[in-house]
């Protein structure tokens, strides 16, 4: 029997920065699709929650009309516009609260007012989360992708690169920020700190497409 053929995919087995840039483009495209799907799912869930809340409010209003014998035979026509305006006001308040809150970490102990606020703003915050998810959308130009690939090749050779040395590969600060954010967000690189310097290293759990061929073959 002949040995099975080792079919290499067009991943980081390609040793040129240009080839790595193509792999990065495909990797970031898959990431953006996941971001879009998550944002769409969050928005659909938020809309469903608003509809459910509207019908609960309608049911409570009908119950109040019956219990207190109010002079209405149906839900007042102004209730729906009032609900919509209130919903937009709640979303606006949630956005202001989110902007002014410096520490979003949950606390062990909360007062009654904070608990009530969390319950009231749950759906508005869910609505805002759809937009917040889109902040993870990656927009890199061809030049950014090539510079990111060159940085990765340098990391493969040197194992770690000081943050101050990134300027050698990426002179423009805005491009450097976009590239480092994209590589960290997609778990290709990590940032570590010692006493005097921040260092870039390859993430140990990075996708197989961004590992040397021998490492990928060992895992396979």
Q: Say whether pLDDT at 126 is over 80.
A: yes
Predicted confidence at residue 104, as pLDDT, reads: 59
DSSP 106-124: --S---HHHHHHHHHTHHH
Whether residue 76 lies inside any domain: the answer is: yes
Q: Say whether pLDDT at 95 is over 50.
A: yes
Q: Which range scores top for mean pLDDT: 6-15, 82-91, 191-200?
A: 82-91
Strand order across the 198-202 sheet? 160-162, 198-202, 189-193
- Over residues 99-125, the mean pLDDT reads 75
Percent of the chain with pLDDT over 70: 85
Residue 201 φ then ψ, to 5°: -140, 160
Predicted confidence at residue 213, as pLDDT, reads: 56
Mean pLDDT of all residues belonging to the chain: 84
Residues 74 and 131 in one domain: yes
Residue 211 pLDDT grade (very low, low, confident, very high; cuts 50, 70, 90): confident
- Looking up residue 158, the CATH number of its domain turns out to be 1.10.10.580
Whether residue 113 lies inside any domain: the answer is: yes
Q: How far apart are CA 40 and CA 35, in angstroms?
A: 9
- To the nearest 10 degrees (0 to 180), the angle between helices 79-100 and 122-133 is 60
Residues 43 and 119 in one domain: yes
Residues 155 and 214 in one domain: yes
Residues 42 and 106 in one domain: yes
Q: Which domain holds residue 46?
A: 36-136
């Amino acid at each position: 029997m002949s040995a099975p053929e080792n079919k290499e995919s067009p991943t980081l087995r390609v040793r040129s920065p240009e080839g790595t840039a193509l792999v990065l483009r495909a990797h970031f495209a898959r990431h953006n699709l996941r971001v879009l799907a998550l944002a769409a799912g969050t928005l659909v869930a938020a809309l469903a929650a608003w509809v459910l809340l509207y019908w609960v409010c309608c049911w409570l209003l009908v119950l109040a009309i019956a219990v207190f014998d109010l002079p209405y035979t149906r839900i007042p026509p102004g209730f729906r516009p009032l609900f919509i305006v209130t919903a937009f006001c709640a979303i606006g308040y949630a956005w202001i609260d989110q902007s002014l809150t410096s520490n979003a970490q949950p606390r062990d102990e909360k007062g009654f007012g904070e608990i009530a606020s969390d319950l009231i703003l749950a759906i508005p915050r869910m609505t805002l989360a759809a937009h917040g998810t889109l902040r993870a959308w990656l927009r890199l130009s061809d030049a950014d992708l090539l510079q990111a690939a060159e940085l990765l090749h340098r990391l493969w050779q040197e194992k770690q690169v000081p943050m101050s040395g990134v300027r050698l590969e990426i002179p423009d600060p805005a491009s450097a920020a976009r590239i480092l954010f994209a590589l960290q967000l997609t778990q290709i690189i990590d940032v570590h700190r010692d006493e005097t310097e921040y260092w870039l290293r390859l993430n140990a759990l990075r996708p197989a497409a961004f590992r040397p061929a021998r490492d990928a073959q060992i895992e396979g």
